[in-house]
Structure 1
Amino acid sequence: MPDFDPDRAWNIHPQVAVRPEPFGALLYHFGTRKLSFLKDRTLVDIVRSLEDQPSARTAVEAAGVAPEAVDKYVGAVGTLAASQMVVERESAPAS
């Protein structure tokens, strides 16, 4: 598995379900049967916005994260990538 690169495009894994909870969200991977608890609503917003952003770093910045906290959230997305909750998005073929 390649290293997490926050400057590349990422998506929620197709086999991952996101369930909103009062504390944030639950992520369940139907393939690996892993469960992740997101206890930070900003992180939930970032994860949900990955498909609409050109990179994980851009998703963090678009969520309004303060510059001094960007590394914390980028690291959290990297942890989700390591557990296969998010996967690198394939580039669209050139037309």
Structure 2
Amino acid sequence: MTARVFDANCGWELDPQVRVRQEQFGVLLYHFGNRRLTFVKDPALAAVVSELDGTSTVAARCERAGITLGHKAVDAALAALEAGGMIRRARQ
């Protein structure tokens, strides 16, 4: 089984069925379509995910937030959000 590769050099957005709720620990994402519930605890990554609207690349947003892409945990978290249907490539 190969690890999923996340392409941070394109625009990403929250799935339209996902709602984000700010919590003390970070953010809670709930997908009304597949009923998945996901927690993002890292404050910087939570801010990046909350702001995904397709207008900027994830790489640019991460750079502004001080997040180093290529770090195994960051890449895995973003890939998991994609695999879970929480985020998707921006529709142009």
Normalization by structure 1: what TM-score? 0.79
By percentage of residues, which structure has more strand? Answer: 2
Q: How does 1:27-66 map to 2 (within 5 A)?
A: 27-51=29-53, 53-65=55-67
Q: Is the 8 A contact 1:57 1:74 kept in 2?
A: no
Rg larger for: 1
Question: Are the aligned partners of 2:10 and 2:57 in contact in 1 as well (CA < 8 Å)?
Answer: yes
What is the percentage of aligned positions where both structures have the same residue? Answer: 37
Q: 2: distance between equivalents of 1:74 and 1:4? A: 6
Give aligned pairs, total: 86
Unaligned runs of 5+ in 2: none
What's the Cα RMSD here?
Answer: 1.7
Q: Give the 4+ runs in structure 1 shifted more than 4 A.
A: none
Segments of 5+ residues of structure 1 without an aligned counterpart are: none
- Report the Cα offset of residue 27 of structure 1: 0.5
For the residues of structure 2 that align with 1:78 and 1:12, how far apart are their CA atoms?
A: 13
Q: 1:21 to 1:45 in 2, by over 3 A?
A: same
